[in-house]
Amino acid sequence: MEIDAADIQDLKHQLEAAELDARALVAGLDEERGGWRAEAGSWSVAECLDHLATTNRVYLQAMNEPARRARKRGRLRRGPAVAGRFGGWFARRMEPPVKVSSKMKSPKSIRPRPAPSLADAFASFLASQNDVRSFLLDNAELDLASIGFPNPFVPGIRFSLAGGLHIITAHVRRHLWQAWRVRRDQGLGD
């Protein structure tokens, strides 16, 4: 069921914009350039996409069961899908441009695979974005701002489902920005 509310449409638009940005990012990249790293320990374009696909899946896995329970209990939409104070703060920290002070080390469970192929990482990213969009549209009638789920990386921290969706979209923008920098470092420009 799709809700024609501005907040849901905005989240959907953010997901679609990220997909378009990722398509532009990989356009003209071959496997060698997609796997190129500026320096040891840094990530390639393919690794950025692989990380995003994995993170999206992990977040959705944590969000699915609370959404299912809320649906069963009839917790329908009472207001917009706002991120909330803590979720909003966390999402804002994800936004590019990334400052040195806001860099975070990724948990081991969502670090990219070593040297994934660009084609595979990109396909996985697109599939994960589709899964996020499906979650959004399938659950748009729920009260996303009041249904909590446990942060899959930090025990004891909870976000609302709306917060999770805002964090996902900001996180995607963060690492697409990072991947564009890798592409520019190769002299490939925009």
Give the confidence band of 140 by pLDDT, cuts at 50, 70, 90: very high
Number of C-beta neighbours around residue 104 at 10 A? 10
Give the pLDDT of residue 46: 97
Superfamily for domain range 6-185? dinb family like domain (1.20.120.450)
Residue 110 has a pLDDT of 85
Does pLDDT of 142 surpass 90? yes
Helix axes 161-185, 45-72, angle to 10 degrees: 170
pLDDT at 3: 62
Of the listed ranges 16-20, 51-55, 96-100, 137-141, the least confidently predicted one is: 96-100
User: What are the residue boundaries of the structural domains of the chain, listed by start?
Assistant: 6-185
What confidence score (pLDDT) does residue 119 get?
A: 97
Assign 147 a pLDDT band (cuts: 50, 70, 90).
very high
- Least Cα distance to 154 among 65, 87, 76, 78 occurs for 87
pTM: predicted TM-score of the whole model, two decimal places = 0.93
Residue 90, C-beta contacts closer than 8 angstroms, at least 6 positions apart: 159, 163, 167
Radius of gyration of the chain (CA): 17
- Give the pLDDT confidence of 78-128 residue by residue, as tens digits: 999 999 898 999 899 989 987 655 567 777 778 888 889 999 999 999 999
pLDDT at 155: 87
Cα distances from 57 to residues 19, 42, 135, 185, 189, in angstroms, run: 16, 22, 11, 29, 30
Q: What is the dihedral of CA 157, 161, 164, 165, to 10 degrees?
A: -170
